[in-house]
Amino acid sequence: MASHRKSRPTGSRVAGIRTPALATAALTSVALLSQSANAAPEADDKPSLEEVEKKVDDLYRQAGSATEKYNGAKEKTAKQRKRVDTLLDDVAQRTQKLNEAREELGTFAAAQYRTGASAPDTATFLLADTPQDYFDQTQLMDRMTGRQKVAVDDYITQQSETMEKRQEAAESLEALTESQGDLKTAKATVQRKLADARELLSKLTAEEKARLAAIEKEKQQEAARKAAELARQQAEQQKEREQEAAQQQGSGSSSAGSSSSAGSSSSSTAPDSSYATKADKALAFARAQIGKPYVWGATGPGSYDCSGITQAAWKAAGVTLPRTTYDQVNAGTTVPLADARPGDLVFFYDDVTHVGIYIGNGMMIHAPKPGTYVREESIYYDGESSIHSVVRPA
């Protein structure tokens, strides 16, 4: 008997099911689509170059902030360590004198007993809470001469002062331990932020690094343009001041009152002249450091951080500045940016974590960040909005 089954045509559909050839092609398409779908999120997860740049800049700023905290903690720790050492030396000297005086009083107590009914008890004296307690208990106070009573009173006072110094030293040691903890934390924070920044940069391709350099160059060009604009404004203001001074001087020669006014105006420029002299010294020092590496926490002479070089520069001019940006910003007179003069300190960011020394024409000398060197740069290097204030330190 012939079979009733019909042969299935190649390439046809039977009950909605594709033939093996078409099914294979469909499965391949699905697999490719699936791979594309899976690959898309990975591409989306990768940050843009602009995002990387912003993240790196933020990490460097955070490292700068942590550096200033480290500098403050280091300075505080050094002062506390010096204080602790002084207190411990003082306590040691006082304790030695106290022991010598105690032995002398013990000898005196034994001598007093030589004429008494009972045997001397020097050990009891040496273990007594105070000489007063011992002498009162043994009824020796009534037998003392005035000079001997003064010696006991002096001993009691000395003992009390020694105990106070011991307590003070213990409290200072506790504060020192706390400062050392803060110092360790700040140091770890700086190192972590810098490591994160290096890791981000290490993931960039050569092409991305080139593009990043191009973006940075554009920022520098814009910063230079802003600096030139400020220089023109300051030059115009200076010209106006000179014209006004010339007019005042001319009118001042016609009357005594005007002469007096001109005299006071002339005297008011004396502090400016003094400041200019100091500023010249500070700037000469700063220029001599150009090319030295930025190292966080460094104060020279081989390397500097931002507040380290401003402190060192003004020290060369005979002016002592605090160590950190937080304190340097309060160590002088705040002036408008338009009135900035060579030698002034320019501070950056809302948290005041960066500083440079103004050299004129919208430019400054500063130690920018890790991986860079002390250099001249526009005060607009990170945008106009980053400028916090200008301070004249002397």
Residues taking part in catalysis: 306, 354, 366
Provide the residue count of the chain.
394
CA separation for the pair 101, 109 (Å, rounded): 12
Burial class from Cβ neighbours inside 10 Å (0-12, 13-18, 19+) for residue 142 reads exposed
Peptide bond between residue 301 and the one before it cis (omega within 30 degrees of 0)? yes
Contact residues for 335 (Cβ-Cβ < 8 A; gap 6+)? 341, 344, 390, 391, 392
Asked if residue 172 lies in contact with residue 87, where contact means CB atoms within 8 angstroms, the answer is yes
Asked if residue 305 lies in contact with residue 298, where contact means CB atoms within 8 angstroms, the answer is yes
CA separation for the pair 146, 342 (Å, rounded): 71
Asked if residue 72 lies in contact with residue 181, where contact means CB atoms within 8 angstroms, the answer is no
CA separation for the pair 262, 245 (Å, rounded): 9
Distance of CA 386 to the CA centre of its chain: 18
Q: Across-strand partners of 293?
A: 373
CA separation for the pair 394, 391 (Å, rounded): 9
The DSSP annotation for 183-213 comes to HHHHHHHHHHHHHHHHHHHHTS-HHHHHHHH
How many C-beta neighbours within 10 Å does residue 294 have?
A: 22
Q: Across-strand partners of 375?
A: 366
Burial class from Cβ neighbours inside 10 Å (0-12, 13-18, 19+) for residue 289 reads buried
Q: What is the DSSP letter of 389?
A: E
Q: Across-strand partners of 294?
A: 304
Contact residues for 25 (Cβ-Cβ < 8 A; gap 6+)? none
Record the tokens describing residue 23, joined without a space: 């099914």
